[in-house]
Amino acid sequence: MLEIRDLTVAIDGESTPILKGLNLSINSGKVHAIMGPNGSGKSTLSHVLAGHTGYSVLQGSIQFMGQDLLVLAPEERAILGIFLAFQYPVAIPGINNMYFLKEACNRIRQGRHEKSLDAVDFLAQVRTHLKQIGLDESFLKRSLNDGFSGGEKKSNEILQMLMLQPKLAILDETDSGLDIDALQAISKVINQQRTPQRSWLLVTHYQRLLSYIQPDYVHILYKGRIVKTGDHNLALRLEKEGYGWLQAEATHTVEGHD
């Protein structure tokens, strides 16, 4: 489904790359987790996948569903099935949450040649999802993320994800800012949404999320590259030992190459 090859990315206008030849493939129905210390490039990867214009791709390619993702605008990627739950969702006073959700939903449905939802169907779906996440309906009447608590912002991202039904959901540190109850509720929703057609990329600092959502693969992103891939046990090891041992191992690897 997603094929990232030799991806080298810098912040727009800068020459030092953040991602340095990253390789990653994700197949349908799989859950991949990416962990890594601060500044290793996790959020850069998420943003580049979603089409943020603040980065320049210096080298490499990203294929998604057989298409060259890098030439597509963010909205085209969304229609194709990419969804990024932002680490820091933007607050926009003056845009009503429900209005926005309905616009987004129907734009994407139109783009996918599906029938737009009318007000009744839309509301029915939203109500179901709100209940799943444990949110009150008044949530919809507020301005988009405006004055939302950290947890509410993250929950709103998940609500959007449920309505937009992506093929690849990238959750960028969705667990941070959520209390334990909310984390459990959202994990449950995500587990319900795991289908053979849908893939997941969970970017996280904490093992805890992965004990709720069992990943198929855990990758460690370190200094712009994936340096280790394993299963859930890798996350447990990180939890116990931190990233220190990676430093030694990475140095060793580099020396080995020399």
- Which of 155, 160, 199, 204: binder of another protein (CB under 8 A)? 160
- Which of 19, 34, 62, 108: binder of another protein (CB under 8 A)? 108
Whose Cβ is closer to another protein: residue 103's or residue 137's?
103
- Taking the mean position of all CA atoms in its chain, how far away is CA 6? 20
User: Residue count at the site for another protein (CB under 8 A)?
Assistant: 30
Residue keyed to tokens 């129907």: 106
What's the min distance (Å) between Cβ of 127 and another protein? 20
Site pattern 70..99 for another protein (x: CB under 8 A): ---xxx-xxx---xx-x--xx-xxxx----
What's the min distance (Å) between Cβ of 137 and another protein? 20
What's the min distance (Å) between Cβ of 8 and another protein? 21
The piece of 1-9, 50-58, 230-238, 247-255 that touches another protein (CB under 8 A) is: 50-58
Whose Cβ is closer to another protein: residue 10's or residue 161's?
161
Query: Cα dihedral sign for 62, 48, 194, 163?
Result: negative
| Residue 127: how many other CB atoms lie within 10 Å | 12
What's the min distance (Å) between Cβ of 54 and another protein? 8
| String of DSSP letters for the chain | -EEEEEEEEEETT--S-SEEEEEEEE-TT-EEEEE--TTSSHHHHHHHHHT-TTEEEEEEEEEETTEEGGGS-HHHHHHHTEEEE-SSPPPEEEEEHHHHHHHHHHHHHHHTT-PPPPHHHHHHHHHHHHHHHT--GGGGGSEETTT--HHHHHHHHHHHHHHH--SEEEEESTTTT--HHHHHHHHHHHHHH--TT-EEEEE-S-HHHHHHS--SEEEEEETTEEEEEE-HHHHHHHHHHTTHHHHHHHHHHHHHH-
Q: Does 182 bind another protein (CB under 8 A)?
A: no
What's the min distance (Å) between Cβ of 67 and another protein? 16
- Which of 26, 50, 126, 130: binder of another protein (CB under 8 A)? 50
What's the min distance (Å) between Cβ of 248 and another protein? 38
- Which of 11, 39, 59, 111: binder of another protein (CB under 8 A)? 111
Whose Cβ is closer to another protein: residue 93's or residue 242's?
93
- Chain residues in the site for another protein (CB under 8 A): 50-54, 73-75, 77-79, 83-84, 86, 89-90, 92-95, 100, 103-105, 107-108, 111, 143, 160, 164
